[in-house]
Amino acid sequence: MIIVTGGAGFIGSAVVWYLNRQGIDDVIIVDNLGTSAKWRNLVNRRYVDYVHKDVFLERVRNNTIDYTVDAVIHMGACSSTTERNADYLVENNYRYSMILARWALDRGIRFIYASSAATYGDGSQGFSDDDEVTERLEPINMYGYSKQMFDLWVLRNKLQEACAGLKFFNVYGPNEYHKGDMKSVVHKAVHEIEETGEMRLFRSYRREYGDGEQRRDFVYVKDCVSIIGELLENGSRNGIFNVGTGRARTWNDLVTAVCRAMKREPNMRYIEMPEQIREQYQYYTEAVMDKLQSMGSAGIRYSLEDGIEDYVGSYLMGGERCLER
């Protein structure tokens, strides 16, 4: 049995999609559906059971899970970079992860978890996933810090050789529709361009970057879950790894690719960035992918243009669709 926490969410439901395509249906989905629309991500999926995340944690604590678990793919977390409740983030992203990891690893269960590129903060320490760099990182928002806390716990307890952590960079793709303000700019751009004929982007406040020339490492969710699949099949590939394309691209590049996928001419308008986020804004991110590639990973298959073409053409245009059966 494979447990996928956050299994109704964006990356988690894409993991279940990947598993189903490999013929794997023995899946337990752990999540908190609440009143959100992410239940739609489960409609096309095949799985054994759904368990609320609090109920599941209680079963873990009480050791009352009565089925054989082969792997835990822990994607469940609060992923809002603007969440201000630090206690909630610590409990949800750090302590929950710590309890689950200890339970799994003590039983020899494969444990793969989601970290985040938000741990790199302003990027002044670079974007290497070397463990010595990880220990020096200073995140600039509480979400990033909650992820950093768990990475540091893994390193302090010398568990990096027993599990796999994934520092996801800017992920976009199907099944993210429910994420509100945290949806990718690709998703937002399609709807904004359809409604207004243009896409608004933040102005730059640094001389070295033109408007819309701020750079990020954008990675397609289908590549992310393929990498998770590799790690699931190869239990000896352990450590804390970056997951990105290894190539920073501009917001202008992204919007141009969206417009081309929509068969429109690019049309960008630059607006003022809210003052409350200017000090926390990342102008550049680029994953160093050497560590994962050195372990034999097939790496990234989708370029920015190819990923956007697939996402926009197959899922967003003409009515949004979730990942297919």
Catalytic residues: 143, 179
Rounded CA gap, 317 and 270, in Å? 25
Beta carbons of 281 and 275 less than 8 angstroms apart: no
Residues 6+ apart with CB under 8 A from 300: 219, 220, 223, 244, 245, 246, 289
The 3-state DSSP class for residue 167 equals strand
CA distances from 207 to 123, 211, 289 (A): 17, 10, 28
Where are the strands (E) in 104-204, listed by range? 110-116, 164-168, 170-172, 199-202
Q: What is the dihedral of CA 146, 121, 293, 251, to 10 degrees?
A: 120
Beta carbons of 47 and 73 less than 8 angstroms apart: no
